[in-house]
Amino acid sequence: MTVQAANALLKSLEEPPPGAVFLLVSHRPARLLPTIRSRCVPVPVPLPEPKAAAAWLAAQGVKSPERWLAFAGGAPLRALDYATGERGRAFERILRAIAAGDRGALGEVKGREELEPLAEVLQKMALDRAFAALAGRTRYGGSAVAGDARAWLAYAREMGRNRLLTGHPLNPKLFAAEMVAGMPKD
């Protein structure tokens, strides 16, 4: 949000029209200007219970709803999108290559649109490996095989940076190969 837009919003929050109610939604409220946050009443909205979310996903026709729900970090709408969309098919291909230990297949991308899903899967896999080493459990439903927690956390951080770069005019095959080559050894 630009400074001018934030000031206009602040003005509206300070002097709202009669009968107006504003509903501001933010997944990162700490990044809002303090002057805007001070005029709001926070209402946290938790994720739904995993069993209820999995039942809803199953009712939508999703196969393996628990798996997709874990991969989506507990967010049911994101899990539905992952399980039924083109992105989900890309995830499936990448996850199969990871399960088979085929690093060569991981680096074989056909175009730029496959880079972001590759970086996302590699980041979540790295976080799961680090969580398994540190806490003995995973978050995204990946392998509970523990590894060097520091190496996997550093790799997850790198994949987070790479996710931001996937929209840039890079050579997709070289970029994918670089992401896979940087993966820590088990």
Q: Please, what's the largest Cα pairwise distance for the chain? A: 62
The reported pLDDT for the residue numbered 54 is 95
Mean pLDDT of 158-170: 87
Query: Has residue 130 been placed in a domain?
Result: yes
- Whether residue 90 is contained in a domain is answered as no
- Asked, for residue 96, whether it belongs to a domain, the answer is no
Given a cut of 90, is residue 159 above it in pLDDT? yes
pLDDT in tens, 43-76: 988 889 999 999 999 999 998 899 899 889 899 9
Domain-embedded: residue 122: yes
Give the Cα separation of 2 and 16 in Å (integer): 20
Q: Which position has the higher pLDDT, 144 or 177? A: 177
Q: How many domains does the chain have?
A: 2
Q: What is the pLDDT of residues 112-139, one digit of tens each?
A: 888 888 999 999 989 988 988 888 888 8
In angstroms, the first-to-last Cα distance of the chain is 43
For residue 145, is pLDDT > 80? no
Residue 135 within a domain: yes
Task: Output the pTM of the full model.
Answer: 0.74
**pLDDT at position 2:** 83
The span from the CA of 73 to the CA of 177, in Å, is 26
Q: Is residue 66 part of a domain?
A: no
Tens-place pLDDT, residues 5-50? 878 888 888 888 899 888 888 888 888 888 888 888 889 888 899 9
Assigned domain for 120 exists: yes
Can you say how many angstroms the Cα of residue 157 is from the centroid of all Cα atoms in its chain?
Answer: 13
Residue 68 falls inside a structural domain: no
Domain membership of residue 138 as a residue range: 109-181
Between CA 183 and CA 186 the distance in angstroms is: 9
CA–CA dist 168, 57 (Å, integer): 34
What DSSP string describes 125-178? HHHHHHHHHHHS--SSS-------HHHHHHHHHHHHHHHHHTTSS--HHHHHHH
Identity of the amino acid at 102: D
Token representation of residue 87: 């992105």
Q: Is the pLDDT of residue 146 over 80?
A: no
